[in-house]
Amino acid sequence: MSETLPTSPAITQIAAAGQRPRQVAIAGLLGTFIEFYDFTSYGFLVVYLAPLFFPARNPTTGILATLGVFGAGYLARPLGALFFGRLGDRRGRRFALLATIIGMGTATTVLGVLPTYATIGVTAPIALTLVRMVQGFCAGGEISGASTFVAESDGGRNRGRLQALTSLGSSLGVAIAPAVVGLAVVLVGTHTMGTWGWRLPLLLSAVMTLLVVIYRVRIDDSTEFRSIAEAETIERSPVRVAILGHWRMILATAALNLVGTMILGVLVNYMSVYLITVLHLPAKTVYWLSAICLLLGSSTFLAGGWLTDRFGRRATAFVGWALCAALIFPVLYGMAAIGSGGVWALLGVGVLYVLALTFSYLPMPAIFVTMSQSFPTQVRFTCTSLGYNIGAVLGGGVTPYLAAQLSDSFGTRAAGWLAVAAAIVGILVMARLTTKSGKAQQV
């Protein structure tokens, strides 16, 4: 077991020597950008990957199978959380985050050169699934580790705004992915996208990953980790201590991240499939609409960080999730209206979409830092990563598939109830945590 961290002049000197918190926050932004770009690119390429890797007479069968592989990437995330969490608590936050970004970029690059079913037969979908799982495994320590790194470097000041930079990276990754896919469609055409053009957005990840690695190499480890390293209080078995000693807060972290990833899964990952396969909108229209809306939504993240610093995390979370739940069905009905044409319908639903997306993710930066800071430094990376990724599996991993099944069984807008249910869960869990602690500002 770890010992109580002593205070000494040496430790104080180490803490004072750290780099500026904004540099760490930018490193987190770049890494989470890559993570969400990689994962979201796959979601927007599903309509091209399905017939190439899962050829079937019924196109819906191929779509569902490809979405199942999307979920498989999430299933590997908790294992990655355990691995990289232990690595981060034993070897340092910087070392673990370099490993995650290199692993994610490599997996996405391999995905971009995979042979299809026509070339290697049944080995193709197996390889696709395995590469997606490696991608998910490496992503298991990224955004939670980046949030931990920033939280340990911010000195307690402007915490909401600095954490918002990390979440801004994820939002930009989600926004840039459809823009790149849409640009690829413009450059090579829809037919070519269905043969080899789908590889281009994935291979671009290799270049972006290299640039992020170069930036992260220059960042020192967090002041808090260097303090426990200097004091020789690094935990030898962080996974065991985390699970046995902090499982309640790990589950609370999982529940709160489930909320964000489930709403995001409905609004982003499933929506593109819905617009193309159900409403039969042109792929280019869907990609550019998604990119513009997501970029507009990203612009509000820093404002969200300011709101949490100004008005508190609980109030921001309650208002954000309630507004998202209220907007989800107008968004879905608006999307259906686009199917009948009209520029005004397109613009109107775009505004609703941006508002719903913004409100759904507005509380997440504050939640990440709050849950991270509730864990001891010696096991913080492990606890945060494990909780975050359990929620990601339950929320983001199964949501696109479940949304498609609900829409097929109960109507095209039934998926909206997933977002409503997620918002209700978030409000209840947040209320429970703050009521139990007796101090709203702690959550």
pLDDT class of 6 with cuts at 50, 70, 90: very low
Average pLDDT, the chain: 77
Whether residue 172 is predicted with pLDDT greater than 80 in this model: the reply is yes
State how far the Cα of 164 lies from the Cα of 161, in Å rounded to an integer: 5
**CA 30, CA 152: separation in Å to the nearest integer?**
18
pLDDT of residue 158: 57
Fill in the DSSP letter of residue 121. Answer: T
Nearest CA-CA partner of 165 in 182, 147, 152: 147
Record the tokens describing residue 440, joined without a space.
Answer: 């709203």
Residue for token digits 């803490």? 15
Query: Nearest Cα to 316, choosing from 112, 118, 160?
Result: 160
Q: What is the pLDDT of residue 259?
A: 85
- Per-residue pLDDT at 76: 83
Per-residue model confidence (pLDDT) at position 341: 58
80 and 139 in contact (C-beta within 8 Å)?
yes
- Which range among 21-30, 53-62, 116-125 shows the weakest confidence by mean pLDDT? 53-62
What average pLDDT score do residues 245-252 get?
Answer: 88
What's the CA gap between 274 and 174, in Å, rounded?
17
At the second CATH level, the architecture of 16-442 is Up-down Bundle (1.20)
CA dist 108 and 117 (Å) reads 18
pLDDT tens, position by position, 250-296: 888 888 888 888 887 787 767 777 777 777 777 777 777 777 777 77
| Confidence grade of residue 438 (pLDDT, cut at 50, 70, 90) | very low
Q: Where are the domains of the chain?
A: 16-442
pLDDT value at position 329? 83
Query: What 8-state DSSP symbol labels residue 185?
Result: H
The residue assigned the tokens 């042109």 is 282
Assess contact for 345 and 275: CB atoms under 8 A: no
Task: Give yes or no for residue 7 having a pLDDT over 80.
Answer: no
Is 60 or 392 the better-scoring residue by pLDDT? 392
Q: What percent of the chain has pLDDT over 70?
A: 77
pLDDT for residue 244 is more than 80: yes
Q: What is the pLDDT of residues 116-141, one digit of tens each?
A: 888 888 888 888 888 888 888 888 88
Q: Dump pLDDT digits (tens) for 191-238.
A: 888 889 999 999 998 899 999 899 888 888 877 888 887 877 788 888
Mean pLDDT of 237-255: 88
pLDDT of residue 58: 59
Per-residue pLDDT at 384 exceeds 80: yes
The DSSP code for 440 is: G
DSSP symbols for 212-246: HHHHHHTPPPPHHHHHHHHTT---S-HHHHHHHHH
pLDDT-derived band at 115 (thresholds 50, 70, 90) equals very high
pLDDT for residue 35: 84
Report how far residue 224's alpha carbon sits from residue 152's, in angstroms, rounded to the nearest whole number: 6
Q: What is the chain's Cα-based Rg? A: 21
What are the distances in angstroms from CA 135 to CA 75, 76, 107, 138, 213?
A: 11, 8, 5, 5, 17
Portion of the chain with pLDDT greater than 90, in percent: 5
Whether the pLDDT of residue 1 is over 50: the answer is no
Q: Which residues of 168-200 are buried (b: 16+ CB within 10 A; e: fewer)?
A: bbbbbbbbbbbbbbbbbbeeeeeeebbeebbbb
Instruction: Look at residue 300 in the predicted model and tell me its pLDDT.
Output: 66
pLDDT at 200: 92
Q: Is pLDDT larger for residue 348 or for residue 310?
A: 310
Which among 273, 281, 255, 210 is positioned nearest to 431, based on CA atoms?
Answer: 255
Structure confidence at residue 437 (pLDDT):
45
Q: Looking at residue 405, what is its pLDDT?
A: 80
pLDDT > 60? residue 9: no
Note whether 74 and 145 are within 8 A (CB). Answer: no
Average confidence (pLDDT) over 31-57? 81
The model's pTM:
0.73
Q: Which two tokens stand for residue 44?
A: 């927007």
Decide if pLDDT at 11 tops 50. no
- 112, 208 Cβ separation under 8 angstroms: no
Q: What pLDDT was estimated at residue 66? A: 66
Residue type, 176: I
Local structure of residue 71 (DSSP, 8 states): H
